[in-house]
Amino acid sequence: MKPVLAIRNRLGMLLPVAASHENRGVALFDLDQTLHPWDTQLLFCNWILRAEPLRRLYLLLFLPALPLAKVLGSEGMKRIFLSFLWGMRRERLEELVREFVAHIIPAICYDDLLEELVKENMKGRRVILVSASPEFYVKPIGDALGVDASFGTRVEFGTSVPLFPDFTGGNNKGAVKVARLKEELGIAGPQPDSAGYSDSKADLPMLELCEEITAVNPEGSFERRAEEKGWRILRPARPYRDRRAFGWRCLRQMCGFDRV
């Protein structure tokens, strides 16, 4: 079954065909722990390692780099993390992405957030997926969800994936998301008739563009900010008890031993 059909079946309805969005508002959605409860990069890594177990050798590069995370920064660590794809041919990667999106995405998305996608579409807003995850699978995920546009971290590679791939325009996180929206859609400054959805304070620059803000399972300072600002808060049920259980599942996904 195609992923978009599986998503429609979960909702028990057909996602509406997008209306004309000229001069209309936008609805900006984060992906990880917003539309679903996991880290998509780890889920995809898990999918790849289960398909090609020898790629677990990437851990010999990634684990020694962890103590240097503050020095290398999120972009540097992401480049090293993507070494699990080293040498993979583009055709094989695209095949695994299609399988990942078809099997995993429909199963993990929160029903509440899928319904929000539909509601925003019916309001006539352009529904935009904006993620820090690699764009080579963010766009297929966006297509499966039926959104109008999808933007992720642009990973540079040709016929095969290099050991530490470069990112066009940097890691699509924080203020980089705002710069990308301006580059691609001409969005600059607060937008009328707009909504933003995220679980993280890292998305505050993006959320500041929006009139209506929804915090998804917020925690810590982001939760306090949401309460102080009177933002709407959604708390869809997570498939794990607490942060420790979440961390354990993430570790298993990093090593390719998880069954989501």
For position 56, which CATH number holds? 3.40.50.1000
Query: Is there a domain that residue 242 lies in?
Result: yes
Per-residue pLDDT at 9 = 65
Q: Which domain holds residue 150?
A: 3-9+24-255
Query: Is there a domain that residue 16 lies in?
Result: no
Per-residue pLDDT at 2 = 54
Per-residue pLDDT at 22 = 57
pLDDT tens-place string over residues 190-249: 999 999 999 999 999 999 999 999 999 999 999 999 999 999 999 999 999 999 999 999
Q: Does residue 4 register a pLDDT over 90?
A: no
Q: Does residue 8 register a pLDDT over 90?
A: no
pLDDT tens-place string over residues 104-151: 999 999 999 999 999 999 999 999 999 999 999 999 999 999 999 999
Total number of domains in the chain: 1
Query: Is there a domain that residue 48 lies in?
Result: yes
Q: Does residue 5 register a pLDDT over 80?
A: no
Could you tell me the end-to-end alpha-carbon distance of the chain, in angstroms, rounded to an integer?
18
Query: Is there a domain that residue 14 lies in?
Result: no
Per-residue pLDDT at 259 = 87
Q: What percent of the chain has a predicted confidence (pLDDT) above 90?
A: 90
